[in-house]
Amino acid sequence: MPSHSGRMSLREPDPAPRPARSAATTGTPRKWRSLTWLRGQAPTSVPPAGTTDVLEPAGAAAPTRAGGTHLADLIRSPRPTATAVLPDSDPLDLVQPAPRVPFLAIPATWRPKRAWLALVPSPRSTPFTFGYLVLLLGTSLLIRFASPKLTDKLLAVSSTDAHNMARHPLTALLTSAFWIADGGWLPYAVIFAIAVAPFERRFGGLRTALVFFSGHVLATIATELPVMALIHTDVLPHSAGRWLDIGVSYGFLTTAGVLVALLRGRARIAGIVALELFVISVYVTDDPASLASVVTVLGHACAAHFGLLVWGPRLRSVPRIAR
């Protein structure tokens, strides 16, 4: 209704209240646009105290947003405060200690690769091979540093010649596999790492000992019984029954024959050729005309083919042991 001055009063309520309009509809005042980062959403104008906003109802509360502070509350508060939000986990866990540098840092190029370390016998992965090599090392050191009289007596008792096989065969068969004739331990350690340790990793220590000693005993008996028979029939002199026959070659050739039998295709053919060449090379490099060399090469061939033709087919279907 008109006033005395002829102007319309802005305080006069409307016949029907209009619905509230959002900040997106009304727009943001230009003077508040630079402070928008304080609250995360568009601020609204603050009406003077004691008045009602034209665009908002009198009882409407100012919109808030989680994680922000209303600009009007920030202006009205005498002492504005800030609230820090901490994570649920322990704050000390967020601090990671600096890695400690070792005193002697070895470059990565100088460290041995794991593939080569896996070939080395160890008491955990190959206890039979490792223990046997330790025993051979002890007997080799005994031959090297003990008195010749003592070592000659021990070797004479342990030899699997015809004389000992006729008198105490079990002692000769058991102890002859614990000595190395020439005392060269390192080449045998390499051979055991190639021919015995892989067999033990696949079949275990008990089966490795069974195959190893069975080949040693069988090859020894197969070569010494004919010598004993020839001596008994006076074909060979009695001195042929007393010669030094010790070593571990019969055992590891048996396990090597089994490993070759487990190969397939061309790899098996190559393994058989390599095995036969090894047996022939040992015979050629020794004294081929002597009786000891003939008996030794027959024992090598018997042990290698015993593992290749007898143990190989039997163990082909045996599953690998779990590690």
pLDDT single digits (tens) 249-262 = 999 999 999 999 99
Confidence of residue 294 (pLDDT cuts 50, 70, 90): very high
* Domains of the chain: total: 1
Instruction: Tell whether 91 is covered by a domain.
Output: no
Query: CATH code at 247?
Result: 1.20.1540
Residue 47 in any domain: the answer is no
Whether 15 maps to a domain, the answer reads: no
pLDDT at 289: 85
79 compared with 291, residue with greater pLDDT: 291
Span 273-301, average pLDDT:
92
Residues 6+ apart with CB under 8 A from 160: 172, 173, 176, 220, 224, 245, 246
Q: Is 184 left (phi over 0), alpha (psi -120 to 50) or beta?
A: beta
194 located within any domain: yes
User: Would the pLDDT of 181 be above 90?
Assistant: no
Ramachandran area for residue 247 (φ above 0: left; ψ -120 to 50: alpha; else beta)? left
Backbone angles phi, psi at 30, to 5 degrees: -65, -30
CA-closest candidate to residue 198, choices 143, 160, 264, 255: 255
Query: How many CB atoms are located within 10 Å of the residue 226 CB?
Result: 14
Structural domain contains residue 3: no
Among residues 147, 223, 213, 121, which one has the least CA distance to residue 175?
A: 213
User: Residue 276: which domain range?
Assistant: 123-315
**Predicted local confidence at residue 90, as pLDDT:** 55
pLDDT at residue 218 greater than cutoff 70: yes
Q: How confident is the model at residue 147 (pLDDT cuts 50, 70, 90)?
A: very high
Task: Specify the pLDDT at position 75.
Answer: 54
pLDDT per position as a tens digit, 31-77:
555 555 445 454 455 555 555 444 444 444 444 444 555 555 555 55
Q: Write down the H helix ranges in 113-204.
A: 114-117, 127-145, 148-158, 162-167, 169-175, 185-195, 197-203
Domain assignment of residue 273, yes or no:
yes
pTM beyond 0.75: the answer is: no
Residue with tokens 């396990």: 255
> In whole angstroms, what separates CA 2 from the centre of its chain?
97
Query: What's the pLDDT score for residue 307?
Result: 97
Q: Encode pLDDT of 1-25 as tens digits.
A: 444 544 444 455 555 555 555 544 4
Query: Both tokens of residue 302?
Result: 């018997």
Is 206 inside any structural domain?
yes
Mean pLDDT of the chain: 78
- Does the pLDDT at position 30 exceed 90? no
Residues constituting the chain: 323
Would you state the pLDDT for residue 320?
83
272, two tokens: 């058989």
What is the C-alpha to C-alpha distance for residues 155 and 237, in angstroms, rounded to an integer?
Answer: 22
Q: Distance between CA atoms of 37 and 27, rounded to whole angstroms?
A: 16
Of the chain, the end-to-end C-alpha distance in Å amounts to 100
Query: What is the reported pLDDT for 287?
Result: 86
Say which residue, 270 or 287, is predicted with more confidence: 270
At residue 68, φ and ψ (nearest 5 deg) are: -130, 165
Query: Collapsing DSSP states into helix, strand and coil, what is residue 200?
Result: helix
How confident is the model over 88-112, as pLDDT tens digits? 555 555 555 555 655 444 555 555 5
Residue 258 lies in a domain: yes
What does the pLDDT look like over 119-131, one tens digit per residue? Answer: 788 898 899 999 9
